[in-house]
Amino acid sequence: MKKTLAKQLDAINEYEREPIPKSKLKGLKSFVGMYAGEHIAGTEFVIGPLFVVHGVSAIDLFTGLLVGNLLAVLSWAFLCAPIAVRVRLTLYYQLEKICGKYLVSFYNVVNALMFCFLAGSMIAVAATAVGIPFNIAMPGLDDLYPSSIGWVVTVLFVGSVITAVAILGYEQISRFANVCAPWMILIFVAAAFAVMPQLGITSLSSFWEVAQTKIWTGVPVAGYTKFTFWHVMFFAWFANMAMHIGMGDLSILRYAKKWYHGFASSTGMFIGHVMAWVSSGILCAAAGGEVPPGPIAYASAGIAGAACVMIAGWTTANPTIYRAGLAIQSIMPSVKRWKVTMIVGLVTTIAAFFPALVMQLLGFVALYGLVLMPMGAIIFIDYWVIPKLGMTSNYASVANKHFNIAAAVTWLGTLAICLSLNFFQNVDIFFLGLPGWFIAATLYIIISKLYQKKNMGQPASKLSATSLTV
């Protein structure tokens, strides 16, 4: 039995080091469901309330969410998707061709660890719902360590289920998300409507007044910084910066038949983020403050609400663990992806034991995107700009080098500049992604020009056409 299962898992081919064949390409429907499922997440029950406690005003919240999420959709559609459908490679193999095996291995470890922590927060959120019928002691929002053995067992169970789905590959992840997404949307909306009378919202005309005075009041809770329109807009845009500007979704959108399938991300951004963050903010206000996500949903929508939190955590963590597995597997190509994904799932589950991971989600997501963003700029410039300047794309692959110094200096130099601005100039981390991208793009062009001129044996112009073939 074990051998048969292992053989079946070995047979799952996710094309980790080759382009996706035409027979495996997916239509728009697959991505509509996948993005809706991934971004209608259990973590939305954390992010929405955090906007409330940071004192965002109602007008700043709604305008910031609309503008920021529109920019995120455009980033997927015009930055990530066009390259994804042309090269049809995973992020990790594409970077290996540009950066070399040694540099990309280090990047992949960093990338995978951040994916693990992100997925861990989703597992923890789902566990707050799973534990409700068993009366398991839930960790508080200020807790750092697990609150009980029951919490640990619940997290282990949820992590095991999520990892099992991720092991089965992208097709099963997409199918799972397509089934769950429509139902989760209805539950989020229904839960918010259910608690509105508690806040005094009895008609459409009363909504805005209550929103300004009881939900998004513009006054932060003691100990929390004040958020403005700009915080909301940049967070909404850059919450998934690693996926679109950072090119993480090359691994997902390589399955798309057309580049404009990147617009499918709009289901995740507007139905997911806008609707879910607003709904969870309303639920938080009705619950009187800081309450774990599972009980918040259960109090408003009963068993269906708790189930929504649980499944929302699953549908988001599934593709995240899948990406982390691909990152590690690219370092060890001889090891089957399902085995690597199983180990990644274990690390992710252990991270989920610690509830503080969830409560620092806003700051973590911003840092996570910032760390991975420079490599996305490198991929964009390498594909579209470098050949036009007479230089060589996919330089490490063409020149047979294991370490591209230009890429390394660009990545680390950009991070050093951005983090210095954060630490020494008190520039909020939410605002650093946009200038950071242009810093990375400029550095990569200048350093590549010097590096390739020094190291290339033959003119770069002769190699640039070859370097673009996959």
pLDDT at 377 over 80: yes
pLDDT at 340 over 90: no
Q: Are 170 and 252 in contact (CB under 8 A)?
A: yes
Q: Phi, psi (5° rounding) for residue 57?
A: -80, 160
pLDDT at 467 over 60: no
Residue with tokens 């390394």: 408
Rounded Cα distance, 12 and 338, in Å: 8
With bands split at pLDDT 50, 70 and 90, how would you rate the model's confidence at 289?
A: low
Rounded Cα distance, 87 and 259, in Å: 11
CB-count exposure of residue 7 (10 Å: 0-12, 13-18, 19+): exposed
Rounded Cα distance, 353 and 158, in Å: 11
Averaged pLDDT score across all residues of the chain: 85
Rounded Cα distance, 141 and 287, in Å: 14
Closest alpha carbon to 300 in 429, 194, 172: 194
Rounded Cα distance, 262 and 111, in Å: 22
What is the dihedral sign for C-alpha 245, 323, 262, 186?
Answer: negative
| 45-49, 75-79, 186-190, 272-276: range with highest mean pLDDT | 75-79
The per-residue pLDDT for 459 is 44
The per-residue pLDDT for 447 is 97
Rounded Cα distance, 173 and 159, in Å: 15
The per-residue pLDDT for 460 is 44
pLDDT at 78 over 80: yes
Question: Which tokens in the block code for residue 391?
Answer: 């230089």
Rounded Cα distance, 27 and 261, in Å: 8
Please compute the mean of the pLDDT values over residues 340-358 and round it to a whole number: 84
Q: Which amino acid belongs to residue 84?
A: A
**Helix, strand, coil percentages in the chain from 3-state DSSP, rounded to 5:** 75, 0, 25
Q: Between 45 and 49, where is the model more confident?
A: 49
pLDDT at 170 over 80: no
Residues 6+ positions from 46 with CB-CB distance below 8 Å: 121, 125, 280, 293, 358, 359, 361
Q: Between 95 and 4, where is the model more confident?
A: 95
The per-residue pLDDT for 427 is 92
The per-residue pLDDT for 79 is 97
The per-residue pLDDT for 174 is 63
pLDDT at 462 over 60: no
With bands split at pLDDT 50, 70 and 90, how would you rate the model's confidence at 3?
A: low
Residue with tokens 């750092």: 144
pLDDT at 353 over 70: yes
% of the chain beyond a pLDDT of 90? 44
pLDDT at 207 over 90: yes
pLDDT at 349 over 80: yes
What is the dihedral sign for C-alpha 39, 43, 44, 48?
Answer: negative
The per-residue pLDDT for 465 is 42
With bands split at pLDDT 50, 70 and 90, how would you rate the model's confidence at 13?
A: low
The per-residue pLDDT for 108 is 86
Q: Which amino acid belongs to residue 97?
A: K
The per-residue pLDDT for 173 is 63
In DSSP notation, 164-191 reads HHHHT-HHHHHHHHHHHHHHHHHHHHHH
Q: Are 191 and 300 in contact (CB under 8 A)?
A: yes
With bands split at pLDDT 50, 70 and 90, how would you rate the model's confidence at 140?
A: low
Please compute the mean of the pLDDT values over residues 112-116 and round it to a whole number: 85
User: What is the longest distance spanned by two Cα atoms in the chain?
Assistant: 74
Q: How many CB atoms lie within 10 A of CB 100?
A: 22
The per-residue pLDDT for 164 is 82
For residue range 223-239, list pLDDT tens digits in order: 788 999 999 999 999 99
Closest alpha carbon to 406 in 368, 374, 367, 449: 449
199-to-45, 189, 209, 284 alpha-carbon distances in Å: 18, 16, 11, 11
- Residue 26, beta-bridge partner list: 256
Q: Are 177 and 33 in contact (CB under 8 A)?
A: yes
Q: Between 307 and 382, where is the model more confident?
A: 382
Q: Phi, psi (5° rounding) for residue 356?
A: -60, -25
With bands split at pLDDT 50, 70 and 90, how would you rate the model's confidence at 293?
A: confident
Question: pTM of this prediction?
Answer: 0.84
The per-residue pLDDT for 461 is 44
The per-residue pLDDT for 466 is 42
pLDDT at 160 over 80: yes
Please compute the mean of the pLDDT values over residues 262-269 and round it to a whole number: 95
Cα R_g (the chain), whole angstroms: 22
For residue range 399-448, list pLDDT tens digits in order: 999 999 999 999 999 999 999 999 999 999 989 999 999 999 999 999 99
Least confident segment among 31-35, 252-256, 260-264, 297-301:
297-301
Rounded Cα distance, 198 and 194, in Å: 8
% of the chain beyond a pLDDT of 70? 88
CATH of domain 2-371: 1.10.4160.10
Least confident segment among 154-163, 194-203, 305-314:
305-314
Q: Domain boundaries in the chain?
A: 2-371
Rounded Cα distance, 119 and 140, in Å: 19
The per-residue pLDDT for 266 is 96
